[in-house]
Structure 1
Amino acid sequence: MSTQTFTLPDVGEGLTEAEIVTWKVAPGDTVAVNDVICEIETAKSLVELPSPHAGVVGELLVPEGRTVDVGTPIITFLTGAPALRQAQGPEGGAPAAPAAEEGSGSVLVGYGSGHEATSRRRRPAERPVRSSVGVIAKPPIRKLARDLGVDLAHVTPTGADGEVTRDDVVKHAEQASVFRNIQTPEWGDVREETVPAPQTAPVGLARGISPARPGADASRTESIPVKGVRKATSSAMVQSAYSAPHVTVWKEVDASRTMELVKRLKASPDFADIKVSPLLIMARAVIWAVRRTPMVNAAWIDTEDGAEIAVRHYVNLGIAAATPRGLLVPNIKDAQDLGMKDLARALNRLTATAREGKTTPADQQGGTITITNIGVFGMDAGTPIINPGEAGIVAMGTISQKPWVVDGEVRPRWVTTVAGSFDHRVVDGDGMSRFIADVAAVLEEPALLVD
């Protein structure tokens, strides 16, 4: 048999490092080519790494939670027929205890020494698991529930044989999110990591940040490493904020007819298997308004000769998504070609994939304009930062009943606020104002979409 070392591969998109999030194998496990050995987190997505070898896992060279550069050795494999036979045991049964080399006192990597070895078999993939309280759910669904803070015991299952599905968990989480701010969590008694007291005054002092005094209670401060999605997001936001001159405009909107349309679509047999929300109408409104003001869908590009503006005659619609991994902005490619039903399905897939942490780097590349739905957090309006490579981002606030003057009378109406930030190098005041007015007009009268 021989020992093969596997290094962290280049997963593309110009990324140079990744974090080992979860090992799916342990020393002594038998693996086949393309079996998933671990999950890694890059600056843009969560990626499953397949095994390049068939054999037995030797040593895990990088612990979970550590970020390493591309090309770093992360795992070894024992390959060849002897390794497979030893792992399988007699007649393909349980793994046999390996024999040490005579006189050397050494054993095969990962099996310990001296006593009969116990080897953990590779986890069966996607097999439903029944818990002690009778809930049936596959491992990925249980992980999604943990990430979203959902108690599976309280979820109504709709899958075959009473199995909880991904949509069941997502739907339950969305319903629960309405009450997320009712109770304020208490401070924990123990913090995982603390910031050591600095010996010299840090840069932060210039901004009014006081370091912990030597000997001070270390439980009062914790340190969160900046890596992965948070590192990429912070870099992109700083780049955008300090390179593109932002201007924000907003308009309050009577969205009552949008809410009526959403209600009708939910009751329609054609949308029986599709989740419908006001975000769907907002997305259609943005696509419609882009046609009338194409510059909001453009991009400023620096060149060797100066600069140019690229006007895109297509819409890759970005949706800012708050996920357990942080802020992601996947986009729907060629959204301008999608009808209402197909756009609704695309939004559902995008949201579910982002929440599961399965958004790929390709899904986050090439966006042309973005929507951020801050209304789900109970916010009325905001001044969003433009996604790099784009010229505009639209924020949709919460939709709530407010007094509104209609034909000279004050009536309760469903009201929201539409705000948009734009790159003033690309879009002038009249263009951005006209665009936001068009989006607002569609939310006020969705019948405009029929043209």
Structure 2
Amino acid sequence: MVKREFRLPDVGEGLTEAEVVAWRVAPGDVVAVNDVLVEVETAKAAVELPSPFAGTVAALLVEPGRTVPVGTPIVAVETAEAGDAGDGAAATLTGEAGPDGRIATLVGYGPRPGAAARRPRRGGAPAPAPVPDAPRSAAGTQHGGFAAVGVQQSHHAALPEPAPATVPLAKPPVRKLARDLGIDLRTVDGSGPGGVITRDDVRTAATPTAETGTRREPVRGVRRATAAAVVASAFTAPHVTEFLAVDVTATMALRDRLRATREYADVPLSPLAFVAKAVCLALRRTAVLNARWDEPAGEIVFHDRVRLGIAAATPRGLLVPTIRDADTLSLRELAGALDDLATTARAGRTTPADLTGGTFTITNVGVFGVDSGTPILNPGEAAILAVGAIKEAPWVVDGALAVRTVCQLALSFDHRLVDGEQGSRFLADVGAVLTDPGLALTW
């Protein structure tokens, strides 16, 4: 038997670390190629990592809740003799070198030999210097996407081998409860059979914390990424926020008529779909709001297409998944895309690729009953639109007071590239289309 270590792979988008959320296996379990070993969480998404080889789990080297750099050994698996990784694995296992020496992954190939080492993280230690290629086993692999394959050892200096960690015995629901309560399972004595930690054990451990009136929770994953992004945005881009109250009575009436038609019978036609369509139309008329400020180059970069970000509150925190080429979609297609986006985000299946590259963002604070706010720009974007609650309110119509359906809009924009006139014209255009949807036919 040969013991192989599976190292934390780069799950994409240049991420340098991940948190081990929950193990799907335990020491002694027999695994096949592509069996899920562990769930990890990065700053962008939660990902399940499958095994790149078959064998028996020998040891779990990283405890749940711990954040480790890419390349860290996280699990050891005993396999058959070298060259016999399981049925069919020897010929097709990711991690084998291609014709040009690069390492195969499930989404292509890793870097070419001699490629530059990974940049150091801010405030962290520098990346290991490249070392000459050396013979490696089939376990030394490189990852470029979502496959669970090890990091190619021939391109990076070997990391120190940590001593196998003692993983607290607890089922996934108990581990989640501990995370929610801010309890370190390593400090809890298990009362279950064989020392297994139970829910009652976790609640008992949480009692002293509750008695102090405070609770501490590590800042990690999406929360840490969100905090870094909004701080960078707030102190880099000079924000300007403008507000507009809009009479959306005609748009809501149009929504009701469309929902009664055969074409829209199976489409969840939300008010947000009309806002998204109005935004895409207005961006055609004021293209600078679909641009970004490139400080190093001293340029304004205009985007040909609208990649529309939708801020979504999920169990993992605030995410901004995007709709590609939103400006090319019909109202019906936008409605379907918004529903798919929300469903995927709530289920925690949004991929890192879908969380990057946005060019304009909408945040719908109205779903929480909030009228308005001052949204902070998504880094790299020129503007963000906050949509408030849609509700009945007194409104002056033809000189007389009437009850209308009203919504508040708030537009924040980067004043480095968007002037007040441009931001005002864009916001007015969005409001005009929502007030009179028929204008869309004239633009």
Normalised TM-score (structure 2): 0.71
Alignment of 1:247-326 (within 5 A): 247-303=240-296, 307-326=298-317
Calculate the aligned-residue CA RMSD, in Å: 2.8
CA shift, 1:219, in A, is 2.1
Query: Residue 312 of structure 2 contacts residue 319 of structure 2 at CA under 8 Å; is this kept in 1?
Result: yes
**Aligned letter for 1:46?**
A
Contact 1:254/1:413 (CA < 8 Å) preserved in 2?
yes
The aligned amino acid for 1:432 is G
Tell me the SS of whatever aligns to 2:212.
Answer: helix
Q: SS of the residue aligned with 2:235? A: helix
Structure 2 counterparts to residues 269-418 of structure 1, below 5 A: 269-303=262-296, 307-418=298-409
Q: Deviations over 1:281-332 (max 9, x none)?
A: 000000000001001111000125xx11111121000000011101111111
8 Å CA contact 1:194–1:221 kept in 2: the answer is: no
Q: How far is 1:21 from its partner? A: 1.1
Matched residue count: 332
Q: 1:221 aligns with which of 214, 223, 232?
A: 214
**Offset at residue 44 of structure 1 (A):** 0.7
Q: What are the superposed Cα offsets for residues 48-75 of structure 1, whole Å, 9 maximum, x if unpaired?
A: 1111111222211112221111111111
- Does residue 245 in structure 1 map to residue 238 in structure 2? yes
Question: CA, structure 1 residues 227+51, in 2 after alignment: closer, same or farther (shift >3 Å)?
Answer: same
Asked if the contact 1:193/1:223 (under 8 Å) is kept, the reply is: no
Structure 2 residue runs of 5 or longer lacking an equivalent are: 87-163, 165-170, 181-202
Q: Aligned residues: percent identity?
A: 56
1:150-189 per-residue CA deviation (whole Å, 9 max, x = no partner) reads xxxxxxxxxxxxxxxxxxxxxxxxxxxxxxxxxxxxxxx9
Q: Give deviations 1:372-396, integer Å, cap 9, x for gaps.
A: 0000011101000000000000000
> Quick one: which amino acid aligns to residue 5 of structure 1?
E
Counterpart in 1 of 2:46? 46
- Report matched runs for 1:12-27 at 5 Å: 12-27=12-27
After TM superposition, give the deviation of residue 448 of structure 1 in Å: 1.9
TM score, norm. by length of structure 1: 0.69
Contact 1:194 1:222 in 2 (8 A): no
CA shift, 1:342, in A, is 1.5
Code of the aligned partner of 1:418: L
Deviation at 1:359, TM superposition (A): 1.1
| Paired residue secondary structure (1:271) | coil
Counterparts in 2 of 1:193 and 1:286: CA distance versus 1, 3 Å: farther
| Residues 442 and 49 of structure 1: CA distance in aligned 2, closer, same or farther (over 3 Å) | same
Deviation for aligned residue 1:250? 0.9
The alpha-carbon distance between structure 1 residues 356 and 303, as it changes in their structure 2 partners (threshold 3 A), is same
Q: Quick check: 2:36–2:50 contact (8 Å CA) kept in 1?
A: yes
Deviations 1:329-364 (A, max 9, x none): 111111111111211111111111111111111101
Per the TM alignment, residue 192 of structure 1 is displaced from its structure 2 partner at its CA by 4.0
Q: Which runs of 4+ in 1 moved over 3 A?
A: 81-85, 189-195
Match of 1:213 in 2: none
